[in-house]
Amino acid sequence: MSAPEKRPQPRPGIMKIARYVGGEGGLPGIDDPIRLASNESALGPSPKAIAAYAAAKDSLHRYADGGAAALRRALGARHGIDPDRIVVGNGSDEIIGLVTKAYAGPGDEVLFSRHGFAMYPIATLAAGATPVTAPEAGYRADVDAMLGLVTEKTKIVFLANPNNPTGSYVTAGEVARLHAGLPPHVLFVVDAAYAEYVTRNDYTDGLELAKTHENVATMRTFSKIYGLAALRVGWCYAAPAVCDVLHRTRGPFNVNAAAQAAALAALDDVGHIDRARAHNDIWLPWFAEQVQQLGLTVLPSIGNFVLVGFPSEDGRNAEAAEAHLKADGVIPRPVAGYGLPDFLRITVGLEDEMRAVVASLRTFVGR
Ligand SMILES: Cc1ncc(COP(=O)(O)O)c(C=O)c1O
């Protein structure tokens, strides 16, 4: 037997985690870069949310409401769901971690699709469980491939719908079929971070399924269309037993007071969200069309971002395109870490930002 390590050792699995690499926030020598690397809202938050955040400064000595009661009530009213079946988290990232730690551990498997959101493998390894990835078909989750990998060890199945970074989605019928194929002990988590951007009538955010099944949880966030990524507010809707587990394991004041106040105000400003969706409905297809006219590939997306594909030759590939865009002051998101080395993910920004990206890509491809 080898000598035990002398320094403290983390639990198995932790050192297998590839650290999450977020979108870059700045570029050396460029004052105000065009930041399209993190799927943030083009329009930013509602002015009402900013005012609520500012007003929170008068009570900084008070603890937040640890149960986020007002926000849960408002979410319940907005979505027609029971506020007692909502748990609010410090971003949906926190919920992903809480769910995984509570329901999976050493010897257990957590299943998701090949190009699924990066936090699923991180949370799985952090819990000491084993990540299992199902192949995709055309950069889209493949329900049959996922079902084929379910074993008695499977404890959680994560499905981002729409998925980041691919922008693809599985239809409500496919979501129902995936759920129907899972044994009742498997927790099915539908991550609907981009649900508010979706304008497809065959889409589901998982809420209806979660209303009637004990093994379904659905997650949402204020980081995307609500424009509050900095404040970290996400939420989960699930059966009372799942909520109970999350409440037991979350920090007592996991969502700060200013964040709760801003989220509550943001939720109330329906007009702002409609404008953000309308903006996306114009500029996502516009951008996809322009990029295709440049001879580049664009994967169909129903989120507020799109994967642009590049040829694999040196000088014309995604890495070269990233360098070119950055030199022009545009920050895209490389997605090689997602197993997509030939693509860059670009968030839908403001009109002048999207025009600037197209102009930069045009000089890149030399047209
Ligand atoms: C699919 C998906 N789920 C969850 C998150 C995490 O969001 P939050 O900011 O609420 O932690 C993201 C953020 O990029 C995402 O794309």
pLDDT one-digit tens code per residue, 17-55: 999 988 999 999 999 999 999 999 999 999 999 999 999
First and final C-alpha spacing in the chain: 64
Looking at this protein, which amino acid is placed at residue 7?
A: R
Residue 41, burial from CB neighbour count under 10 angstroms (0-12, 13-18, 19+): buried
**Interval between CA 233 and ligand 1 midpoint (Å):** 10
**Interval between CA 50 and ligand 1 midpoint (Å):** 21
Same structural domain, 208 and 287: no
User: Of 247, 268, 289, which one is at a domain's C-terminal end?
Assistant: 268
CATH of the domain at 161: 3.40.640.10
CA–CA gap between residue 117 and residue 167 (Å, rounded): 11
Spatial CA neighbour of 94 closest among 284, 262, 223: 223
**Interval between CA 223 and ligand 1 midpoint (Å):** 7
Same structural domain, 319 and 254: no
Give residue 165's domain range. Answer: 52-268
Ligand 1 atom with the smallest distance to the CA of 221 is: 10
Residue 367: predicted pLDDT: 63
- pLDDT for 2 beyond 90: no
Same structural domain, 118 and 83: yes
Same structural domain, 250 and 288: no
Structure tokens at 23: 């979108």
| Local confidence band at 5 (pLDDT 50, 70, 90 cut-offs) | confident
**Interval between CA 289 and ligand 1 midpoint (Å):** 26
As a three-state string, the secondary structure of 82-151 is: CHHHEEEECHHHHHHHHHHHHHCCCCCEEEEECCCCCHHHHHHHHCCCEEEEECECCCCECHHHHHHCCC
Q: Are 161 and 197 in contact (CB under 8 A)?
A: no
Closest Cα to atom 7, ligand 1: which residue?
A: 92
Spatial CA neighbour of 343 closest among 306, 314, 294, 313: 306
| Local confidence band at 99 (pLDDT 50, 70, 90 cut-offs) | very high
Same structural domain, 214 and 289: no
Domain assignment present for residue 2? The answer is: no
Half-sphere exposure at residue 58, Cβ-oriented, CA atoms within 13 angstroms: 5
Torsion sign across C-alpha atoms 230, 231, 232, 233: negative
Ligand 1 atom with the smallest distance to the CA of 223 is: 9
Ligand 1 atom with the smallest distance to the CA of 95 is: 11
**Interval between CA 80 and ligand 1 midpoint (Å):** 23
Same structural domain, 165 and 257: yes
Phi first, then psi, for residue 6 (nearest 5°) are: -80, -25
Same structural domain, 153 and 177: yes
Of 367 and 277, the structure prediction assigns the larger pLDDT to: 277
Q: Based on the structure, what is the number of domains in the chain?
A: 2
Q: Which of 92, 158, 231, 250 to mutate to test the pocket of ligand 1 (most atoms within 8 A of CB)?
A: 92
DSSP secondary structure letters along 308-348:
EE--SSTTTSHHHHHHHHHHTTEE-EE-GGGT-TTEEEEE-
Closest Cα to atom 3, ligand 1: which residue?
A: 193
**Interval between CA 120 and ligand 1 midpoint (Å):** 11
Closest Cα to atom 16, ligand 1: which residue?
A: 164
Same structural domain, 30 and 81: no
User: Average pLDDT of the chain?
Assistant: 97
Closest Cα to atom 13, ligand 1: which residue?
A: 193
Q: What is the mean pLDDT of residues 80-105?
A: 98
For residue 247, the tally of other CB atoms under 10 A from its CB is: 14
**Interval between CA 124 and ligand 1 midpoint (Å):** 16
Phi first, then psi, for residue 157 (nearest 5°) are: -120, 120
Q: Which of 71, 88, 166, 221 to mutate to test the pocket of ligand 1 (most atoms within 8 A of CB)?
A: 221
Same structural domain, 174 and 209: yes
CA–CA gap between residue 220 and residue 234 (Å, rounded): 6
Same structural domain, 75 and 19: no
Residue 145: predicted pLDDT: 98
Torsion sign across C-alpha atoms 96, 98, 100, 101: positive
pLDDT one-digit tens code per residue, 314-352: 999 999 999 999 999 999 999 999 999 999 999 999 999
**Interval between CA 314 and ligand 1 midpoint (Å):** 32
What's this model's pTM, rounded to 2 decimal places? 0.97
Which residues contact ligand 1 via a Cβ below 6 A?
39, 91-93, 117, 160, 164, 191, 193, 221, 223, 229, 234
User: Of 223, 250, 268, which one is at a domain's C-terminal end?
Assistant: 268
Structure tokens at 24: 């870059």
Same structural domain, 39 and 72: no
**Interval between CA 297 and ligand 1 midpoint (Å):** 25
User: Of 268, 284, 309, which one is at a domain's C-terminal end?
Assistant: 268
Ligand 1 atom with the smallest distance to the CA of 162 is: 1
Same structural domain, 28 and 112: no
